[in-house]
Chain A
Amino acid sequence: MLIDMNHYLTWLGGFVDGEGCFSVHTNFRTYKGRNSVTFSPIANVTQHIARKHILEEITERLNVGTVYTRTCHASVFQTTSRAETRRYIEIILPYLRLKTPAAKEVLRALDLLDRCSRDGVAMCKGERVIDVITATELVEMSASINESPITGERLNGASRNEMLRRLKQVYEQEAIPTNRIEISCTQCGNLFERYFSSINGNRQFFCSKDCTDNWARKTYSTRFKVDVICARCNTTFKRIKSDVKPGNNFCTTSCANRFHANQKKILAS
């Protein structure tokens, strides 16, 4: 049974407090010999693929974001545009506690970007659309959101100083050393560039998310998946062996819900 929106948002606030993430992605790129930086304020929630339906419910209920499968075991809800990020945060903000500062920082980043750029692109093809002060402020925001509130330690990504150094390079149009090599995609065979440092130990390389997903789907479906019968509709479907439950398995969330809703039990002794 669906709970009403207010109860749902109250629950979602706690869920996002624990599992969600608000961030400003800062991407440094070199395009046709010119350096550029882009800022993408986003919100996301990652869950095991078995709980993908929870993420899909967020998309359905709030009408924002998209859910995609990152690997065969992780699914991600993520906002896909600045407008969506803003809308999502404005809905969820009153229900947050722990992530309130991060959400507010992302809102502030959105305000800054709305004022001075097109589509969050600070320097598009080398053309400056954000002044260096605003860009520096955005980098600072990106860094602070990702710092531990207790230790100040950087939680992921490049450090604040590293990002500021690269930002300086962008604005001074220094060449960013690439150290890239050309390799071929395991799935489609296309040639693409990758940082030399990132290939250590890896055996598969993919040029796009689609190729990663297609390869994983093909590999896991043949190597690790087994046939399972839905406890409600008796349909045979495939499931990763480690995800098969000892009790009842269901082909869809709808089947699971209907199976559990339409049961009456008694004890006999």
Chain B
Amino acid sequence: MAATVLIYEWNGASGVQASTDKTSGTLRYKNADNATVDANNPLVKPTSGNNRSYEKWTRLHIGGTGPTGSITAPKFYTDGSNSYGTGISAYILTTNPGSYATPAVPANDASGTDQFSYTSASPKALDVANAGPFSGTNTDFGDYAVLWMTLATTVSAPQNPTSSETLTFAYDES
């Protein structure tokens, strides 16, 4: 039987962070650290420079049914096309699972990479720091994928919310 794999969003201060299952759900970039999908705390069009959302810390999780063998090669990718519109970018960085930090607004985009540079043919590996194979039940696995959105002055406003983009987390199971 195939394993139950979920996508968790992590929020809250380091040490007391809490997770929310976002599988097949929506992840809302906002100006606050919570997993709620609403129109509160929207990102505001900058008058100069860039405005950024709070980071969205996400990680894959094995639910109540584990793999028969193991799970390997977790990865992240998009369809390769940014449809958010002019002036809106989205970034990703991956980090060691031991280095969870309270989600904050990134000072710049230098540490991240454009999410849309990762496609199914060229995905972002999520097992660089936390290498597989992974097994067991009710356990997180792979690296954190930290996501955020950046608005430039060229963005057209209002957009509340922006159009949606599909983010894919994939893995191999044996």
- Chain A interface (Cβ < 8 Å from any Cβ of B): 1, 229, 231, 248, 258-259, 261-269
Contact = CB atoms under 8 A, between A and B. Distances in A.
B26 A269 contact: yes
Nearest to B121: A231
Given A229-B121, A248-B120, A261-B2, A266 B170 contact: no
A268 B90 contact: yes
Interface of B: 2, 5-7, 22-29, 56, 58, 60, 90, 120-121, 147, 149, 161-173
B interface, over-half SS: strand
Nearest to A263: B170
A264 B5 contact: yes
Contact of B26 (A261, A263, A266): A266
Contacts of A231: 120-121
Contacts of B162: 269
Given A229-B121, A231-B120, A248-B120, A267 B6 contact: no
A268 B168 contact: no
A258 B171 CA distance: 9
A209 B163 CA distance: 55
A232 to B, nearest CB: 8
Contacts of B7: 264, 266
A231 B24 CA distance: 22
B26 A267 contact: yes
Contact of A267 (B25, B149, B171): B25
Given A264-B5, A264-B7, A269 B173 contact: no
B26 A264 contact: no
Contacts of A267: 25-27, 164-167
Contact of A262 (B121, B163, B170): B170
A35 to B, nearest CB: 60
Contacts of B120: 231, 248, 259
Contacts of A262: 2, 5, 170-173
Nearest to A234: B121
Contacts of B170: 259, 262-264
Given A1-B2, A229-B121, A261-B2, A268 B164 contact: yes
19 contacts: A229-B121, A231-B120, A261-B173, A262-B173, A263-B169, A263-B170, A267-B25, A267-B26, A267-B27, A268-B27, A268-B28, A268-B147, A268-B164, A268-B166, A269-B26, A269-B28, A269-B162, A269-B163, A269-B164
Given A229-B121, A248-B120, A265 B5 contact: no
Given A229-B121, A269-B28, A269-B29, A264 B166 contact: no
Given A266-B24, A268-B56, A268-B149, 13 more contacts: A1-B2, A231-B121, A258-B172, A263-B168, A263-B169, A264-B60, A266-B27, A267-B167, A268-B28, A268-B90, A268-B167, A269-B161, A269-B164
Contacts of B168: 263-265
A-B pairs, 4 with minimum CB distance: A267-B164, A269-B161, A269-B164, A268-B27
B167 A266 contact: yes
Contacts of B161: 269
A239 to B, nearest CB: 15
A258 B3 CA distance: 13
Contacts of A265: 24, 166-169
Nearest to B30: A269
Nearest to B25: A266
Contacts of B166: 265-268
A266 B22 contact: yes
A152 to B, nearest CB: 52
B139 to A, nearest CB: 16
A259 B123 CA distance: 13
B159 to A, nearest CB: 9
A259 B171 CA distance: 8
Contacts of A261: 2, 173
Given A231-B121, A261-B2, A268 B165 contact: yes
